[in-house]
Amino acid sequence: MEDTEESTQYTTDPKDLLHMREAINQANLSIAIPTAYCVGAVLTSKDGAVLSTGFSRELPGNTHAEECALTKVSGDPTAARGGTMYTTMEPCSLRLSGNRPCVERILEAGIARVVMGVREPPNFVQCNGVDLLREKGVKVCVVPGVEEDCLKPNRHVL
């Protein structure tokens, strides 16, 4: 389902833009492969402190950016509770690899807010991550004006 102007929630908070810029930097660290996107993520605590970062395929096992960021704080499963996940692309709701989708991981971690750059393009799967997160009470916002920078590391598949 495509967001309409009325349903899209935007954020212009300077802190959100700052963390999104770091997520974009993380996405640019991803090694491009023909069957996946290059995504970056920044995970903050409920107080706004950066807990971890991640990028696509950073860790072994065909890992996604959000998955990497969450894995890095797995020693304290409550660290992300109430926090914010910044991600350059909509968290996945389905993975062709059979791995757990990032939406499930975000919900399990108790993340209260997801701030993203762009919706996932339909090249590989039909993603409905935003809808699933909102249905479970997670606030989802888009940072306006970063779409081109979020998609740039993905020109190999777009």
List the catalytic residues.
66
CB 101 within 8 A of CB 93: yes
Q: What are phi and psi of 114, to 5 degrees?
A: -120, 125
The conformation of residue 107, written as its DSSP 8-state character, comes to: H
Tokens of 15: 């802190």
Tokens of 87: 């991600």
The conformation of residue 42, written as its DSSP 8-state character, comes to: E
The CA distance from 126 to 1, in Å, is 9
| Among 32, 34, 64, 27, CA closest to 149 | 27
Which residues have a Cβ under 8 Å from the Cβ of 155 and sit 6 or more positions away?
A: none
